[in-house]
Amino acid sequence: MTLLEVQNLTVTYAGGAAAVRGVDLSLATGRKLGIAGESGCGKSTLALALLRLLPAGTRVGGKILLDGEDILTMRWGQVRAVRWAGASIVFQGAMHSLNAVHRVGDQIAEPILLHRMATTAAARRKAGELLEQVGLPAARASAYPHELSGGQRQRVMIAMALACEPRLIVADEPTTALDVMIQAQILRLIEQLVSEQDVGLIMISHDLAVLADTCDRLAVMYAGRVVEEGPARQVYEDALHPYAEALSSAFPRIGDPASRFAPHGLAGDPPDPSALPSGCAFHPRCAVALDVCGTEDQALRVASRERRAACTHVPADPGEGSVT
Ligand code: ADP
Ligand code: MG
Residue 322 CA, ligand 1 centroid: distance in Å:
29
2-86+164-309: CATH topology = Rossmann fold (3.40.50)
**Domain regions of the chain by residue span:** 2-86+164-309
Average pLDDT over residues 192-218: 88
Average pLDDT over residues 148-173: 89
Count of Cβ atoms closer than 10 Å to residue 64 Cβ: 24
Atom of ligand 1 lying closest to residue 48 CA: 6
Tell me what the pLDDT averaged over the chain comes to. Answer: 88
Instruction: Tell me, using a 6 A CB cutoff, whether residue 144 lines ligand 1.
Output: no
Instruction: Tell me, using a 6 A CB cutoff, whether residue 39 lines ligand 1.
Output: yes
Atom of ligand 1 lying closest to residue 273 CA: 14
Residue 91 CA, ligand 2 centroid: distance in Å:
9
Instruction: Tell me, using a 6 A CB cutoff, whether residue 273 lines ligand 1.
Output: yes
Residue type, 156: V
Q: What is the pLDDT of residues 226-261, one digit of tens each?
A: 999 999 999 999 999 999 999 988 744 445 444 444
Instruction: Tell me, using a 6 A CB cutoff, whether residue 47 lines ligand 1.
Output: no
Atom of ligand 1 lying closest to residue 37 CA: 3
Residue 55 CA, ligand 1 centroid: distance in Å:
11
Q: In what order do the strands lie in the sheet with 200-204?
A: 87-90, 168-172, 200-204, 32-36, 217-222, 225-231, 307-309, 301-304
Mutate to test the pocket of ligand 1, among 41, 45, 247 (most ligand atoms within 8 A of CB): 45
Q: Give the pLDDT band of residue 207 (cuts 50, 70, 90).
A: confident
Average pLDDT over residues 194-204: 89
Q: Are 190 and 158 in contact (CB under 8 A)?
A: yes
Q: Are 77 and 87 in contact (CB under 8 A)?
A: no
In angstroms, what CA-CA distances link 96 with 42, 124, 151?
A: 22, 22, 11
The conformation of residue 135, written as its DSSP 8-state character, comes to T
Instruction: Tell me, using a 6 A CB cutoff, whether residue 220 lines ligand 1.
Output: no
Average pLDDT over residues 136-146: 96
Residue 116 pLDDT: 66
Q: What is the pLDDT of residues 94-131, one digit of tens each?
A: 666 789 999 999 999 998 898 766 899 999 999 999 99
Instruction: Tell me, using a 6 A CB cutoff, whether residue 8 lines ligand 1.
Output: no
Q: Are 319 and 304 in contact (CB under 8 A)?
A: no
